[in-house]
Amino acid sequence: MLRTVQQYLVCQPTGALPRIWGCGEKAWNCWVLLFVSLALFGCGFESRRSTTSLEPTSAGYPEGTITLLAPANPGGGWDQTARQLQQVWTAEGLLGVPVEVVNRGGAGGTIGLADLVTRYRDDSRMLMVFGQVMLGAILTNNSPVLLKETVPLARLLSEYEVVAVPPGSPYGSLPELMAEFRRNPEGVSWAGGSAGGIDHMLVGLLAQAAGINPSRINYIAHSGGGQAAVAVMGGHVTAGVSGLGEWKGHVEAGRMRLLAVSAPERVGDGMVPTIREMGLDVAIANWRGIVAPPGTDTDTRDWLINALSDLRESEAWQEILRENEWEDSFLTGSDFDDFLRQETATVDMTLRSIGLVR
């Protein structure tokens, strides 16, 4: 190609309009070589771009916009995860089609789950973000729709929980807060996500570890981490519990203070102590994943898993994990199916032990 461009430059005059000059009877060949080279260069460029997109299935999937259903109000972890997925899939051109996000909050995600299973059955262009919170909500809300009715695609990430207080809180450490919790359990109000979710479970485990009857917890459930954050920042509750990544921005802006993280060891910059360091043997992690609706065939499931694998391998996604203090816990296929069965049993046992499910 370089020789062809050089030949083209030799064949150009110094005048304003290009014309064949000095090429004699080879002028036609000169122009043909030029345009063939430019065409090949363009095709090569498009070919390199197209390798970042998945080829449609034999049935033409996805054939249009893919929608990510966040089964919670804006501002929480599911919404945040869905929008980060949208960002990377779109910016990297991995799907070759537009991606949009819709919110359907309520009842710990079970309203969105019901929509996916009934309204969007057989429509595999509608995908739903979900996680451990939904497993608990299905139990505590006696949901008629179960997660096993969906088609699991992948576990994407894990996130540790944090205990936070308003910036003007009198409690400077978790032991100080827990001392008041022991003295007056009902007088300490906790903000978090849906009843029976990971936030609620953590407060129950803290009560258990501190020798407090979990039935005395004053837990105020919100439909997402965004609303719970507002309650904490406004001083409407004593403390709040949510994912580290969800509230990281509020902490950095000075709108709330972290007392502890639920990780087994310190994470991030190491400034926040673990709950175990504070004398309570509690460690728990949240996780989030993505499912497709019933009726999604095997070929489409494999296509979507490949799309998620490409996303996971992208530097853009890895940077998002780092920025949000999320751990890469990617899992697909039968391993993910087995994990969901085990996790469902674990959540059931935990909720029963702290009295949230009977």
Question: Over the stretch 41-87, which tens digit does the pLDDT of each residue have?
Answer: 343 333 323 334 688 998 899 999 999 999 998 988 999 999 999 99
pTM score, whole prediction: 0.80
Q: What is the pLDDT of residue 130?
A: 97
Query: Which of these CATH numbers, 1.10.1740.110, 3.40.50.460, 2.60.120.260, 3.40.190.150, describes 66-158+288-353?
Result: 3.40.190.150
Domain ranges of the chain: 2-46, 66-158+288-353, 160-285
Contact (Cβ atoms closer than 8 angstroms) between residue 124 and residue 291: no
pLDDT tens digit sequence for 121-165: 999 999 999 999 999 999 999 999 999 999 999 999 999 999 999
Q: What is the CATH number of domain 160-285?
A: 3.40.190.10
The encoded tokens of residue 213 equal 């009857």
One fold for 66-158+288-353 and 160-285: yes
What's the pLDDT tens digit per position in 174-222? 999 999 999 999 999 999 998 888 999 999 999 999 999 999 999 999 9
Q: Count CB-CB contacts under 10 A for residue 353.
A: 14
**What sign does the CA torsion over 164, 132, 156, 335 have?**
positive
- Find tokens 């019933």 and name the residue: 294
Phi-psi region of 197 (alpha: psi -120 to 50; beta: other; left: phi over 0): beta
Residues 296, 315: Cα–Cα separation, whole Å: 29
Could you tell me which residues come within 8 angstroms of residue 204 by beta carbon, excluding any fewer than 6 positions away? Answer: 214, 217, 350, 354, 355, 356
Residue 16 pLDDT class (50, 70, 90 cuts): very low
